[in-house]
Structure 1
């Protein structure tokens, strides 16, 4: 089982699709940096002569802290696609090529599906969070991590957020926490492909299924005015405090449903084995 897991990890992280996902997300992050870095420098130079402006430009201008940028909007929209691209079609290809028949001789079907689920989660989470980490890294090489002044309109973080105090006292730790959330949600979206691979007729349907499901989920939640609880909404660092009443407990309910749905093929195979 360990050897198969290593092979699947190599298939995921060394694939051209994983590289393509990194290039796509990294290009979006670089585009944001090229467009907003000059603005940040201008604001920084202006703050040196204005005591009412915070010199901490870094955490308000990077892609995850800038809600007005088109790059940030596109990034959080395509996270399911970035996550699915590296390894999402793997199970579909294994089924079509009959490769799974060879694997099932060597190990239990439930174990192999569990390995697939884990690799999908790891590759999807890595591809999803890479643009955010890369973008913040670019800005950290230009702007200093200066203390944040409370009340500065540069930052859209309000005191109604459950982690707003953490943002003020430890802004880097605050953003690292959101990196973990993006990784988890990206990984879960990638695991959707495991369920779709058994019923889809075409490979592109498998790859785009998390992206389509995300829009479907947002639409259903918006009908009941719960769109703020959507996974790709509560992982936005700049949304902290903007949606009064939004808690991670409520959002976790949606996330738990995602986990149960994505893990269904593994549990189904395990029940058949026990039966």
Structure 2
């Protein structure tokens, strides 16, 4: 039952759309904040070969550490909506279409709801974490 729910969750068009929104914001933040930071004046001292100072790190400019970036703020503002988008309406659609009654009669309500909770948790986590990993 878990495999079926996971297949339904990750093959969902809304999952792809939510992941695309998150990835677009992560890449926009990468292009507008990280690349200029890496090519900016903070690195000129190290590019000339001089030593003695601790270098600035690009880790300081990733999406999770830059609260001043428009793209970071927008990503974390939209994150609850994109996390709910992929598979949140599945229970309503299953009950309305009769699929839930069919599955519950065959496998039990507990197994169905556990599988549903695991699928929703994994899709929401994937939509929230993958864009940040891509940005990092």
TM over 0.5: yes
Shift of 1:57: 2.3
Q: Determine the structure 2 residue equivalent to 1:68.
A: 68
Superposed displacement of residue 8, structure 1: 0.6
Q: CA deviation at 1:56?
A: 3.6
Matched, 1:83 2:80: no
Q: Could you tell me how far apart the structure 2 residues matched to 1:119 and 1:47 are? A: 49
1:202-221 pair list within 5 angstroms: none
Of structures 1 and 2, the one scoring higher in RCO (CA 8 A, sep 6+) is 2
- The alpha-carbon deviation at position 45 of structure 1 amounts to 3.0
1:40: which partner in 2? 38
Instruction: Give the CA deviation at 1:51.
Output: 5.6
Distance verdict in 2 for CA 1:40–1:62, change over 3 Å: same
Shift of 1:55: 2.3
Q: TM-score, normalised by structure 2?
A: 0.88
User: What residue ranges of structure 2 are gaps of 5+ in the alignment?
Assistant: none
SS of the counterpart of 2:94? helix
Cα distance change of structure 1 residues 18 and 53 upon mapping to structure 2, 3 Å threshold: farther
**Is 2:37–2:58's contact at 8 Å kept on the other side of the alignment?**
no
- C-alpha separation between the residues in 2 aligned to 1:30 and 1:105? 45
Q: Normalising by the residue count of structure 1, what TM-score does the alignment of the two structures yield?
A: 0.45
1:12 equivalenced with 2:25 (yes/no): no
- Offset at residue 40 of structure 1 (A): 2.3
1:102 shift after superposition? 0.7
**1:73 to 1:53, Cα distance in 2 relative to 1, 3 A:** farther
Q: Which runs of 5+ in 1 are unaligned?
A: 137-275
Runs of 4+ in 1 over 2 A off after TM superposition: 43-47, 49-57
* Residue number among 21, 24, 32 corresponding to 1:24 in the alignment: 21
Alignment check: 8 A CA contact 1:43 1:57 kept? no
Q: Equivalent residues in 2 for 1:126-141 (5 A)?
A: 126-136=126-136
Task: Please tell me the root mean square deviation across aligned C-alpha atoms, in Å.
Answer: 1.8
Alignment of 1:1-275 (within 5 A): 4-36=1-33, 37-48=35-46, 54-136=54-136
- State the Cα deviation string for residues 20-48 of structure 1 (Å, max 9, x = none): 11110000011111111123211453241
Distance 1:12 1:98 in 2: 18
- 8 A Cα contact 2:43 2:56, kept in partner: no
Secondary structure at the aligned position of 1:63 is classed as coil
SS at match of 2:120: helix
